[in-house]
Structure 1
């Protein structure tokens, strides 16, 4: 540590000593006011029987950086103020402290190196043991007839293990199934446009390869309804006839409004009228649930606004 660095440390200790008497001061030398300077001068005079001028404090203590250290007699006064016999003892003590810190730092670095050398093999061994368990398997969800990937927004997949159900994220029609243990894993797949499906997997069983894809059977009436809502068909008479075939007479439609403002209710006649004449707002509606009656006609529809 250079003499300038030692002087900076002395300035820091003077500030801490001042705060012992004036704990309400929480600033630094830059914010040290003229009143603080007067207070400090008074403390030094009482404790050290020596005096320091206001100009000297402005010249040597207030600056954030110093280009040269002050006279030794002034350094002796400040060193005595913070508890040392003089500048020589303060410099000597700071040198010892720095040596101890450097030695401790080197020992700490050496200790960390040994710990790392011991830890790395253990981590590698643990990863090797758990590699099989932490692996995952990707499954593509496809339309059974077109063999195209399903729309991720239109399907929900739940992983069930030991009666615990967890919804999986779907990206580009694909789901990641984790290989957590040897127990069978159920995939429960739900969608308003496809038939519900449950698939039992045992992705860790070496004798049985997990499927690379799962085919979902479309619900024909639901797909027709979806086409009505997004298409630009102008033949309203044809629409009306087709809607009458796929919609149950006691149809109930719930449209959930944005911002949790409630919901709107439509019966078959009202909902059919809404579908017969396509509008831009109609394309912003998303079907989230469909239920069919005994004749497979659509009996209930839940829709949300996008």
Structure 2
């Protein structure tokens, strides 16, 4: 197996790990959407504590075949995501598996002993990990995030949750639409959303925080409704937009496929919202800023 074939195998392993964390996805790299790419970037940040760009994923993971091998540092990140220390260990382990059928009987017997020893080591490590999971399960808290008015669970695609300390911000893993927080001490959790007010909570092992309730940002919620609905009364919509938008509104639309960004002022963006369109409904709001009077003066959007 040459390096490119091995990289193709690594891509399949990465896709398998992604499906473990996002079981609703049942496609291939070819059907990998912009949202799937954002989910994978977040998963790598959580699991490996490294950053991979959206452009890199489009260039190296989305294609069915690759003409050249990516940089070793990126291969290391993907190898660590699927459970190896790096690319060199990934290559070594898979070369052992490939070469084994070609060995003679003596080497085969010797190899079996090596594999048996490795199996015993893996079994011991698995037992150790399982013990720690059982021992530490009481330190893992699953928290729902709800709307304070409706008491409904908030779509976790609209939520960014981090553990904040003096020197860093650590993304919190989301499993089954709940925040998974592991702690043996007191930690500060910050919840951000373009459609809700920021919330800070303290979670401790002895006194875990109850389910988190967020206050809606009313004007942001109105904007979300405009973007997703099929309202036909454009005059009414125009009057409402004039009320919730600041006169100095700035809108940045980040284009897909790393093609840059577009800028809109209040009048230009209002014109896009007055008449509903398919492209408008595919836009994902990433950030909203309000003035003291609650009017929206900045919006950042991802074009999906």
Q: What range is the shorter-chain TM-score in?
A: 0.5 to 0.7
Match of residue 267, structure 2, among 250, 262, 269: 269
Q: TM-score, normalised by structure 2?
A: 0.56
Partner of 1:235: 233
Higher relative contact order (CA 8 A, sep 6+): 2
Partner of 1:50: none
In structure 2, stretches of 5+ residues that fail to align are 1-104
Partner of 1:164: 168
Q: For the residues of structure 2 that align with 1:134 and 1:289, how far apart are their CA atoms?
A: 35
Q: For the residues of structure 1 that align with 2:138 and 2:197, how far apart are their CA atoms?
A: 31
Match of residue 151, structure 1, among 143, 149, 155: 155
Please give the residue correspondences for 1:280-295 in structure 2 after superposition, counting only pairs within 5 Å. 280-295=278-293
Match of residue 173, structure 1, among 177, 181, 192: 177
Partner of 2:142: 138
Partner of 1:252: 250
Partner of 1:186: 188
Contact 1:152–1:172 (Cα < 8 Å) also in 2: no
Q: Secondary structure at the match of 2:157?
A: helix
RMSD of the alignment, in Å? 3.4
Residue 201 (structure 1) aligned with residue 203 (structure 2): yes
How far did residue 164 of structure 1 move? Answer: 3.4
Partner of 1:221: 219
How far did residue 163 of structure 1 move? Answer: 3.8
Query: Cα deviation per residue 1:231-253 (whole Å; 9 max; x = unaligned)?
Result: 00000011011001100001011
CA pair 244-172 structure 1, distance change in 2 beyond 3 A: farther
Partner of 1:298: 296
Structure number with larger C-alpha Rg? 1
Q: Secondary structure at the match of 2:197?
A: coil
How far did residue 162 of structure 1 move? Answer: 5.8
Q: Secondary structure at the match of 2:239?
A: helix
Q: How many residues align?
A: 196
CA pair 124-239 structure 1, distance change in 2 beyond 3 A: closer
Q: Secondary structure at the match of 1:250?
A: strand
